[in-house]
Amino acid sequence: MTKSLTLEQVAAYHRDGAVWPIDALTAEEVARYRGQLEAFEKAEGVSLGKHPRKLRGKTHLVFPWMAELVRHPRILDAVEDVLGPDIVLFHLTTWIKEPGDGNFVPWHQDGVYFHLFPYQHVTAWVALSPSNEQTGCVRILPGSHRLGPQSHEDKPSPTNLLSNGQTLAMPVETKGAKPMVLKPGQISLHHTHVFHASDPNTGNDRRIGVGISYIPAHVMHTSPVRMTGTLVRGEDRYHHLEPEPRPNPADPAAALAFHAEAMGRFFNSHQTHAH
């Protein structure tokens, strides 16, 4: 018995390494979340994607509205259908592309840099604005997750949205690639090993996506550094990750301090990280 996805959608996830579109947020919720994000950007005078405190990563540790979004029942119902009932948030990246800014994401696999074992990790990518071929939606190569982990090379550039520019070393035959077109409020789920990439935004609106990386509670991080994570549903009988506090609106300084600590551990745990 599934909670949100049809059996065909669950089968598509396992066969293709991704499934979309899945309706998750209402129009009111999208307007509220996007409104909160853009009000913060206006107050700070900088895009969240370029915030000097690296707030695009683990944003749920800083903003109460993002802490609410990562626990959204419709997102978690879909995630539970592919991961099971005990769900931990391991990481989060807010992916923003402005019209004409040239930002892109090269072909890569998340699993190679997340250092999780076993390789059970799904990213729920939540569209807070139209994500389509004009605005540079995520594209996947169906079935590529079944190849397992592949070699990557670091190719950093100012417009490459991956921190170290991690790019699959093998040439990727993109003829069979599929655009994961999403309307605001819809989500996609992608497997940690599926090859995926995205092109620059040539549309008229910002492309704002929240990539939430969920793992089942039994999955471990392989670094000697104890990483942080948030149990968002079910039970954690393993305690592989240090629990993350929910941001307290009355104490934003404490939230920022924990965020800095958690991001430091994330980036220092191994030499490279994808996001």
Ligand X SMILES: O=C(O)CCC(=O)C(=O)O
Q: Which residues bind ligand X (CB under 6 A)?
A: 95, 105, 110, 123, 125, 138, 196, 198, 209, 211
Cα 193 to Cα 119, 127, 141, distances in angstroms: 8, 21, 10
Q: Measured from the CB of residue 268, what is the shortest distance to ligand X in angstroms?
A: 21
Residue closer to ligand X (CB basis): 55 or 138: 138
Residue 235's Cβ-count burial label (10 Å; 0-12, 13-18, 19+) is exposed
Residue 246 DSSP one-character state: P
Q: Measured from the CB of residue 96, what is the shortest distance to ligand X in angstroms?
A: 9
Cα(137)–Cα(236) distance, integer angstroms: 34
Sequence-ordered strand ranges (E) for the chain? 18-23, 87-97, 105-108, 116-117, 122-127, 138-140, 152-154, 166-168, 178-179, 186-191, 196-198, 207-216, 220-221, 228-233, 242-243
Residue closer to ligand X (CB basis): 90 or 95: 95
Q: Measured from the CB of residue 123, what is the shortest distance to ligand X in angstroms?
A: 5
Residue closer to ligand X (CB basis): 143 or 245: 143
Cα(203)–Cα(131) distance, integer angstroms: 10
Residue closer to ligand X (CB basis): 255 or 274: 274
Q: Measured from the CB of residue 18, what is the shortest distance to ligand X in angstroms?
A: 11
Residue 152's DSSP bridge partners are: 168
**Nearest CA to 115 among 192, 16, 190, 194?**
192
Residue closer to ligand X (CB basis): 13 or 125: 125
Q: Measured from the CB of residue 63, what is the shortest distance to ligand X in angstroms?
A: 19
Residue closer to ligand X (CB basis): 208 or 255: 208
Q: Measured from the CB of residue 125, what is the shortest distance to ligand X in angstroms?
A: 5
Residue 141 DSSP one-character state: -
